[in-house]
């Protein structure tokens, strides 16, 4: 008998080892009709092995071939999937047809309604809460509230972070807390967490219309409503309730001032000094984008610290227009250079290079074939997203002529043509189509782009202005989702001759990196719209420069004279730099220049014989010595070359200029030089540049004030106010 037991035990152990050997990691995404589903349970049937999906709906679990995975979420129907040879299992859970028999819906008082559907509200009873051995309310409610995802941090020791997300028609970003109401009184999340679970009578989650109809804007991120047994906070006076409301507002204001964690920016290394003896050529693509400046303005105006990776100095400089002369030759732009002292490193110099695009009269502009590509996913529901998009594009529609055409494509869970190509003479039809747009669903960005380009190609105007105008927060999370996927798609589509304009909206989950990639690779430009005023500037006042390209693939290459230049560095343009050989390669993409547009670039120069704290001479290498002394060109600082193509051309045209080795005294420098250098200086300070010896805010502001000239729109004065605002934020 004993022998039989030993054999049985051995067989059991052997079976366990065989099973473990067959186990593999299964990964996937659990979703519902709103998109990826955080907090869903994935369990190996018949075992205690299980995991929860993260905020992207992703999971990873160990399972063996032949085992069954059960996927569940409160309020949704369970699904089972048998593990076979596949390693990836994606599951979509459908809404449950179950209804609650009774739901308590509380505003600032108590009412009861019967038979509410699971999708709007749900109640957890005191029996359920008390049956769970947890130390706080959050833990007691994990997995119990339909529509509320409660995730406890299990990261670094000592952390106790809790994320609560109310899932409604769209997915609320994780840094937006719901409103907590205890016995009719709003409280902080920390106060809610500290409630004794055994004192709770019931807990409800309200979302969408159920929340906003009772709590208005305060309930936009959902509401968790609690009834306690002992009536805690119930008998407060109106004055005490108002005090509580003010505490909540202060808490929300503090959250608004914190640096957002869901926004994506590409990181890059600041350009260093280079020796013309070793690297004589500096090559880059022009950049007419100015999204970084308006995004920075948004942060500062909201009292937030600006993320360093959000700062692109060239886009800050190019937000402003400078007084460059109109071109007088056959070329579509003029070239202006200026050489003077560097304000942040007085021992160094600055070279300013300015391009001025030819200003074409409106009546002479070619006909436009435009396709609005509008993100109507759930993440676009905020007032500074889709509602602002609609008003922005209405302002653009007002600029259209009869010969211009507009189509509207939208994308969320799927892409669709909302308005076929329509004449600019029928503005009311276009406006009506915009007014009907509503947000909801996930973000099929790739499918939307495909359809928009297809629509533009079907109505292509030869010699005209063919352009897709994308309006989104950049949160592509279905289809072609990665930056590299989107880049490949756009690079292919630009061959059609259709240009691209990207308009970024919103905050909190803003995806700057994706929009910059799209604009850079799609023969396009990129702006961040933070207000209707900015929409009016970019889409109305600068309509021609934003929407009509007069030159494409514009590249700049400078050869510095080692007889006069010890070292140089390009200010900004880090992600626009090209290899020297790319300059003459017509297959290499570069930036576009619009009608009346200006482009500005700065180089910081360490002159020969000058001492600098930010650079030292390179070690003398045997094969890097330049035989020629450069004395035959002693009056030249550098030679600058430009290459560009006509908007419908494939072969580039070259221009050449020489920059004289003659620096202007600082007091004689132009107002534009002073202001432009102040903008660059402020950008370098925001990036915490290690290559500026002076970062005093007052000195930056003084330099900007000296450049205040021809500020008819007040943008330069606004910049000075931003400098002051950033100084205040730094002290908080």
Confidence of residue 2 (pLDDT cuts 50, 70, 90): very low
Residues 6+ apart with CB under 8 A from 612: 345, 347, 348, 566, 567, 606
DSSP state of 573: -
pLDDT at position 133 is: 44
pLDDT at position 459 is: 96
Exposed/middle/buried for 155, CB within 10 Å: 0-12, 13-18, 19+? exposed
pLDDT at position 507 is: 80
pLDDT at position 7 is: 47
Phi/psi of residue 131, nearest 5 degrees: -80, 0
Any idea which of 19-23, 341-345, 560-564, 641-645 has the lowest mean pLDDT? Answer: 19-23
CB atoms within 10 A of CB 428: 9
Q: For residue 286, give the nearest of 332, 338, 245, 341 by alpha carbon.
A: 332
Any idea which of 158-162, 198-202, 257-261 has the lowest mean pLDDT? Answer: 158-162
Phi/psi of residue 214, nearest 5 degrees: -100, -40
DSSP state of 271: P
**What mean pLDDT do residues 86-105 have?**
64
pLDDT at position 216 is: 54
Query: Of 140-154, 162-176, 648-662, where does the model show the most confidence?
Result: 648-662
pLDDT at position 344 is: 96
Q: What is the pLDDT of residues 267-315, one digit of tens each?
A: 889 999 999 999 999 999 998 888 999 999 999 988 889 999 999 999 9
Confidence of residue 31 (pLDDT cuts 50, 70, 90): confident
Q: What is the pLDDT of residues 302-349, one digit of tens each?
A: 888 999 999 999 999 999 999 999 999 899 999 999 999 999 999 999
**What mean pLDDT do residues 465-474 have?**
91
Q: What is the pLDDT of residues 378-401, one digit of tens each?
A: 888 888 899 999 999 999 999 899
Residues 6+ apart with CB under 8 A from 135: none
CA distance 587 to 553: 9
Q: Which residues of 594-606 are buried (b: 16+ CB within 10 A; e: fewer)?
A: bbbbbbbbbbbbb
With 80 as the cut, is the pLDDT of residue 529 above it? yes
**What mean pLDDT do residues 193-198 have?**
62
pLDDT at position 448 is: 84
pLDDT at position 164 is: 56
Any idea which of 211-220, 330-339, 692-701 has the lowest mean pLDDT? Answer: 211-220
Confidence of residue 259 (pLDDT cuts 50, 70, 90): very low
DSSP state of 495: G
As a whole-number percent, the residues of the chain with pLDDT over 90 amount to 44
**What mean pLDDT do residues 576-586 have?**
94
Phi/psi of residue 113, nearest 5 degrees: -130, 155
Tokens of 554: 């514009």
pLDDT at position 161 is: 44
Tokens of 617: 């001479």
Confidence of residue 174 (pLDDT cuts 50, 70, 90): very low
**What mean pLDDT do residues 560-570 have?**
95
With 90 as the cut, is the pLDDT of residue 692 above it? yes
pLDDT at position 381 is: 85
Q: E strands, 178-237, where?
A: 179-182, 185-187, 200-206, 223-228
Contact between 367 and 461 under an 8 Å Cβ cutoff? The reply is yes
**What mean pLDDT do residues 212-225 have?**
63
With 70 as the cut, is the pLDDT of residue 208 above it? no
Tokens of 266: 């590409």
pLDDT at position 153 is: 39
Q: What is the pLDDT of residues 227-242, one digit of tens each?
A: 776 554 455 555 655 5
With 50 as the cut, is the pLDDT of residue 107 above it? no
Q: What is the pLDDT of residues 626-683, one digit of tens each?
A: 444 445 678 999 999 999 999 888 899 999 999 999 999 999 999 999 999 999 999 9
Contact between 428 and 471 under an 8 Å Cβ cutoff? The reply is no
Helix ranges, 258-385 (H): 291-301, 313-317
pLDDT at position 40 is: 77
Distance of CA 669 to the CA centre of its chain: 37
**What mean pLDDT do residues 367-378 have?**
92
pLDDT at position 602 is: 97
pLDDT at position 428 is: 95
Confidence of residue 573 (pLDDT cuts 50, 70, 90): very high
Q: Which residue has the higher pLDDT, 428 or 183?
A: 428
pLDDT at position 265 is: 81
Q: In the predicted model, what is the mean pLDDT of the chain? A: 78
With 90 as the cut, is the pLDDT of residue 415 above it? no
Tokens of 482: 């990665």
**What mean pLDDT do residues 517-530 have?**
84
With 80 as the cut, is the pLDDT of residue 712 above it? yes
Any idea which of 39-53, 545-559, 616-630 has the lowest mean pLDDT? Answer: 616-630
Tokens of 293: 């400046």
CA dihedral defined by 25, 28, 30, 35, rounded to 10 degrees? 160
Q: Count the alpha carbons within 13 Å of 621 in the hemisphere toward its beta carbon.
A: 7
CA distance 306 to 524: 26
Residues 6+ apart with CB under 8 A from 1: none
* Residue in the structure block whose two tokens are 């435009």: 370
Confidence of residue 200 (pLDDT cuts 50, 70, 90): low
């Amino acid at each position: 008998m004993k022998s039989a037991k030993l054999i049985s035990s051995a067989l059991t152990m052997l079976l366990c080892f065989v099973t473990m050997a067959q186990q593999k990691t299964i990964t996937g995404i659990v979703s519902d009709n709103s998109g990826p589903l955080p907090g869903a349970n994935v369990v190996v049937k018949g075992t205690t092995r299980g995991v929860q999906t993260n905020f992207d709906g992703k999971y990873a679990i160990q399972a063996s071939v032949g085992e069954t995975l059960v996927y569940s979420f409160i309020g949704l129907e369970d699904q089972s999937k048998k593990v076979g040879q596949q390693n990836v299992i994606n599951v979509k859970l459908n809404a449950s047809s179950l209804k609650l028999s009774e739901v308590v819906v509380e505003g600032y008082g108590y009412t009861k309604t019967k038979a509410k559907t699971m999708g709007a509200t749900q109640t957890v009873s005191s029996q359920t809460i008390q049956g769970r051995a947890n130390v706080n309310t959050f833990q007691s409610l994990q997995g119990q509230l339909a529509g509320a995802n409660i995730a406890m941090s299990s990261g670094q020791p000592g952390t106790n972070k809790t994320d609560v997300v109310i899932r409604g028609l769209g997915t609320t970003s994780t840094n937006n807390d719901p409103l907590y109401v205890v016995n009719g009184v709003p409280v902080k999340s920390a106060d809610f967490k500290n409630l004794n679970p055994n004192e709770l009578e019931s807990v409800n989650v309200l979302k969408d219309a159920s929340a906003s109809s009772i709590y208005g804007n305060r309930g936009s991120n959902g509401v968790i409503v609690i009834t306690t047994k002992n009536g805690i906070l119930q008998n407060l006076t109106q004055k005490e309730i108002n005090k509580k409301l003010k505490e909540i507002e202060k808490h929300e204001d503090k959250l608004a001032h914190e640096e957002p964690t869901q926004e994506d920016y590409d990181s890059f290394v600041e350009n260093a000094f280079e020796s013309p003896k070793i690297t004589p050529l500096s090559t880059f693509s022009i950049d007419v984008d100015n999204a970084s400046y308006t995004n920075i303005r948004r942060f500062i105006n909201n009292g937030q610290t600006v993320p360093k990776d959000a700062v692109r100095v060239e886009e800050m400089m190019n937000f402003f227009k400078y007084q460059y002369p109109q071109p007088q030759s056959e070329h579509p732009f003029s070239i202006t250079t200026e050489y003077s002292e560097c304000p942040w490193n007085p021992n160094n110099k600055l070279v300013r290079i300015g391009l001025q695009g030819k200003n074409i009269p409106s009546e002479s502009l070619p006909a436009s074939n435009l396709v609005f590509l509008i993100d109507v996913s759930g993440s676009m529901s905020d007032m500074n997203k889709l509602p602002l998009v609609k008003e922005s594009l209405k302002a653009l529609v007002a600029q259209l002529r009869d010969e211009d055409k507009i189509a509207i494509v939208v994308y969320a869970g799927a892409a669709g043509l909302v308005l076929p190509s329509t004449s600019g003479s029928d503005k009311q039809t276009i406006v009506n189509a915009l007014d009907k747009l509503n947000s909801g669903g996930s973000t099929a960005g790739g499918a939307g782009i495909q359809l928009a380009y297809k629509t533009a190609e079907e109505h292509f105007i030869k010699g005209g202005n063919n352009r897709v105008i994308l309006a989104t927060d950049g949160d592509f999370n279905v289809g072609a989702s990665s930056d590299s996927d989107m880049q490949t798609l756009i690079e292919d589509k630009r061959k059609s001759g259709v240009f691209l304009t990207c308009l970024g909206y919103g905050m909190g989950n803003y995806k700057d990196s994706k929009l910059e990639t799209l604009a850079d690779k799609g023969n396009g430009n990129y702006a961040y719209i933070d207000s209707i005023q900015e929409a009016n500037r970019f889409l109305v006042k600068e309509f021609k420069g934003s929407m009509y390209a007069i030159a494409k693939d514009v590249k700049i290459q400078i050869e510095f004279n080692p007889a006069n230049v010890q070292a140089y560095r390009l200010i900004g343009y880090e992600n626009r730099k090209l290899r020297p050989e790319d300059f003459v390669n017509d297959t290499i993409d570069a930036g576009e220049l619009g009608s009346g547009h200006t482009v500005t670039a700065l180089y910081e120069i360490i002159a020969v014989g000058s001492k600098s704290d930010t650079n030292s001479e390179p070690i003398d290498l045997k094969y890097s010595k330049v035989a020629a002394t450069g004395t035959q060109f002693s009056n030249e600082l550098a030679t600058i070359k430009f290459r560009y193509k006509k908007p419908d051309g494939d072969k580039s045209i070259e221009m050449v200029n020489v920059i004289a080795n003659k620096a202007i005294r600082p007091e004689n420098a132009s107002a534009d030089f002073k202001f432009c250098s102040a903008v660059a200086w402020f950008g370098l300070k925001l990036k915490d540049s290690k290559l500026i010896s002076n970062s005093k805010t007052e000195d930056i502001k003084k330099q900007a004030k000296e450049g205040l000239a021809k500020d008819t729109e007040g943008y330069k004065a606004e910049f000075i106010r931003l400098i002051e605002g950033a100084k205040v934020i730094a002290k908080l």
